[in-house]
Chain A
Amino acid sequence: MRILDAAAEAPEGAGYELPAQNRILTPERRDR
């Protein structure tokens, strides 16, 4: 699923997010 950011837009260059498949590797997600 792809959603739109509900928050105020971050300045250009800030708030960049890793693609979803990479985010899965964060510790909390790995532990679940």
Chain B
Amino acid sequence: MGPVATAPTTQLVAVVKRECETCQMVTPVLRELHRRRRLVVYTQDDPAFPEGVSAIHDDDLAVSWHQQIDTVPTLIRMDGDVEVERVVGWSRAEWERLSGVDGLAPDLPPTRPGCGSMSVDPDRVDELRRRFEGGRLHSRHVELADEEDDIEVMFQRGWSDGLPVVPPTEARVLRMLDGTSRAPEDVVATVPPDLVDVTVEKVAVAAVMAGCLPEYLPWVITVVEAVCTDEFNIHGVLATTMPVGPVIVCNGPGTQAIGMNAGVNALGQGNRANLTIGRAVQLVVRNVGGGRPGEVDRATHGNPGKLSFCFAEHSKWSFGSLAESRGAAPGADAVTVFAGEGPRCVVDQLSRTPESLASSIAACLRTLHSPKLVLVFDAMLVLGPEHARVFTDSGWDRERLLAELDQRLQIPGTELVRGAAGIAEGMPAAFAAHTLPKFRAGGLLLAGAGGAAGLFSAIIGGWANAEIGSQPVTREVRT
């Protein structure tokens, strides 16, 4: 046996359970360390285990939970109350190094993996989380009677967007909160129209109801922050009779980490992250902010995207990310919110030059809202990969494409004024002598998404822009 190398103030803590064969195997080692060192053993399932060691029964698993034990045996070196280092499973070399005791159980294999801690047992973990972390939550509890259908209760309370929602039990909300480092009581934003402070906890409730996974939560929080700014003006987006809602474009490596779809059917159904992030945001607006259709939401028609309209941008397309073009740090996870209506398809399967395709897209963009209305609405162009390739093959970048589109969207005032072409709608007569751009400077956003096959793009009309309406907002995601 070697010398005790660690300082006298340090002590060792081991967490074990009898059910674990590796824990049984290292019993002689535990006895040896217990004899030679300041070793405290916590046993999860049997107070008589390990034999020959006076162990503490972690019968309620409180120690295991709070020490975040996920595997047994775990050997921890403590300096006072502070953990210095831990070893998971059996490794003679690591146990010797951590304990400062050489020559431990030479007859045992050099390594052996441990077993799952009882504190992470799927049958127990939700109950443990509720028991040990339930005090973090502040929302009022709503008791359902045994015979009540929980899904129907969600509808009856007006908490649904028209589709079933997941009941936000304490266990589910606590699990959701694991997705962020932010405290449940942190205020994320003040949500119109009722101007209610929404906490991380309430966002987590909405995320549960929407069907999110915990790793989506930071994205949901960031989008809530973004739409609740004066610039985005979610109150106006709600109250308008136009069919707009938050269109959410996500950028950064995190989009792939959480499985977002930027490819086939990116703007459509079928991807959990895309759909539930956008849905959770709308549930916050509805249930916390009080923004409900027919009340403050006065949309004449609305659009299906008001349930959720959220997608990721292609990570490696040649035009660079929308978020970076709007000031986000390179490579950062970020969201851009845009007040938009439903997408329309731009069909051009014959253009093989960038000039032709730009003209084709510009012709479609001109028709947004009305071919005779300009400057007051922004728009988003979502280039499909095959269309994007027509431009990139000719060396066009983001700036060039936007400039070429702007050039093609300079419209003589005589075509725009009220009465022109026999249409009463249009710009005031005073503009007849001017040439006007369809979009204000920076009013056309460019994103890239969609499947690899199809010479199509999508265009999304916006709502009233500038001070009277909504400005796109880009925010970096923080966990």
Contacts and interface: CB of A to CB of B under 8 A. Distances in A.
A4 B139 contact: yes
A28 to B, nearest CB: 9
A3 B283 contact: no
A18 to B, nearest CB: 10
B191 to A, nearest CB: 8
Interface string B176-216: 00000000000000000010101001100110010000000
Given A17-B142, A19-B143, A20-B145, A6 B283 contact: yes
B324 interface: no
A4 B196 contact: no
Interface stretch (B166-174, B298-306, B350-358, B387-395): B166-174
A6 B137 CA distance: 13
A1 to B, nearest CB: 5
Contacts of B141: 2-5
B169 A15 contact: no
Interface string B295-328: 0000000000000000000000000000000000
Return the 4 tightest CB-CB contacts between A and B, nearest first. A20-B145, A4-B139, A5-B140, A8-B196
Interface in A1-32: 1-10, 15, 17, 19-21, 23-24
Nearest to B148: A20
18 contacts: A1-B150, A2-B142, A2-B144, A2-B170, A3-B169, A3-B170, A4-B141, A4-B168, A4-B169, A4-B201, A5-B205, A6-B157, A6-B209, A7-B159, A8-B287, A15-B140, A20-B145, A20-B148
Given A2-B142, A21-B145, A8 B288 contact: yes
Nearest to B283: A6
Nearest to A7: B287
B145 A24 contact: yes
A7 B81 CA distance: 41
B451 interface: no
Nearest to B290: A8
Nearest to B195: A8
Nearest to A8: B196
A23 B148 CA distance: 11
Given A8-B288, A8-B290, A3 B142 contact: yes
A17 B140 CA distance: 10
Contacts of B139: 4-5, 9
Contact of A4 (B173, B194, B288): B173
Contacts of B196: 8
Contacts of B198: 8
A13 to B, nearest CB: 12
A15 B133 CA distance: 25
Interface string B396-440: 000000000000000000000000000000000000000000000
Contacts of B143: 1-2, 17, 19-20
A15 B206 CA distance: 20
Given A7-B159, A8-B289, 5 more contacts: A8-B196, A8-B202, A9-B140, A20-B144, A24-B145
Nearest to A23: B145
A14 to B, nearest CB: 11
A6 B141 CA distance: 10
A2 B289 CA distance: 23
Contacts of A23: 145
A1 B148 CA distance: 9
A9 B140 CA distance: 7
B122 to A, nearest CB: 19
A6 B287 contact: yes
Contacts of A7: 157, 159, 287-288
Contacts of A5: 139-142, 205
Contacts of A2: 141-144, 169-170
Nearest to A21: B145
Contacts of B145: 20-21, 23-24
Contact of B137 (A4, A15, A19): A4
Contact of B205 (A4, A19, A20, A24): A4
A24 B127 CA distance: 28
A20 B143 CA distance: 6
